[in-house]
Structure 1
């Protein structure tokens, strides 16, 4: 394998081996994921749009890539960074190796670097811009281009579905707003026999209400929630008119629509081992998370939102519920793709509330 390099905006240079597609100069935000399994779901999660993902678990690709575990058809990840990329995976479901799949999808990968050092750098200094290159002969020019690079703010537009589509069912009629939806969310509703209409991120509240839904699901998605004004306006138009459940970005959009604020975290939560405490039942759930922004606690004072769950590691707000309207949200991923299934019951809770149930989030 040929050499490949990752250069961070603080000047750090990591030399390793290339796999996947060739790259001249590719930029992105460098983040890390602590999951020990589920790399296929991670690399196909639309919430990683424009990001280089560092896997803290050292061996990635050992069970290959299969046709079943994708969270989207077209990955939008900028690149994957691992300690060791398995060249010859072994699993009865394997269709491709990680290297072969990345070549197909034109995604660059970097292996054989000190991922512990890289993750420690991110934890100490926060997420930062990075560039992946196959040559550093013109290092000063590369660093100059990296300094000039600015993040795009149209990630949701790029990963959302362009046109509405329907997954028929005989149960509750759910409108699922696609801000960068993981297929796992759709799967949870179809397994419960729901009739699901998936709509683009910029669908208006009037258009959704014309569909006469029993409930509206706000999906996960990439980027800064403040860049998704269409989603904020949508939530404002739905409040009090139909039950609403938000996940991840959907959670943040609900907070912004209700007058709260959000902020960028130092290095975010990404992985399947994040403990969350329910403030009502006192239960603790292990959850799957992927977010770099969070709701600002101090901003909730003038809103009608109540905190229902918090992260045990750092106190981040993990659950909200509206005091007047039938609307609640969680910051993590109850569809667990990948991750533990402790919070999968939230989909049943949502359907129960649609049907007049009195269970609280």
Structure 2
């Protein structure tokens, strides 16, 4: 299957550069797979579509301020890093942007000199492995010096300190708990404590799992044939409590409503609803028979992306592209800070 089959035209002005003033103001397209009907609602209307004993599955990963700046110790040349994953204690897989690549053994100064790094391995497509050391806990330094890892399509002309602080709050879900992501599970950004409480009041249960978002989710597809695309591994964990909640809802006739592609990836990486922990490089594209997901709340995704392919597997490629054409015509806001779609 060709990657171009998942392309669509998107006017650049529809790419959201800032979050909505309040989370609950996001628009929500509702797509009914059985009839093809499309409705235009708000995220607050989610309470009208879910009911007991449905279960809402949330990814409680926490985005770290993973974009850091520094310089090469020898030359002073600037270095920009995106911390992807701590693969061993003190050793980080990163994406590196610099005019001339350091060599193995070269030293870097990071975070205004508060951290030191040594180049261990150079990889492809900007990847590298660094040994990072600091006198204080690195996460404490990142909170002071790091910047939220906003995706490149959020291309603001200026980034003020006030905006950085706002992004630290808004590029994070209200239920984030476990630090480790290099990107937000963006469908979850629309939820407020009040919306979660309203769903609970009508008997919708909640289960939290963890998938730390990395290259597997946001690396673009460059291959012409989608099966030639290599997915990267991402770490996940489904607790006994979460598995029990999801299984109980299913046994009572409830739907498993996955919030975001990362929740879908986690649920579809386990053969049955059970506690599990590991890494997944699952790549979901049409045709695919979903085992553990009955409905999805998701944002609008990049053309030719693995995320759009996943949603096309769930709703059908032609119906999904029709929905996206409608979203463009109705001027929905796209991507991380944009609006959302409920697929039933």
Give me the TM-score of the superposition, normalised by structure 2.
0.30
**RCO (CA 8 Å, sep 6+): is it higher in 1 or 2?**
2
Give me the TM-score of the superposition, normalised by structure 1.
0.29
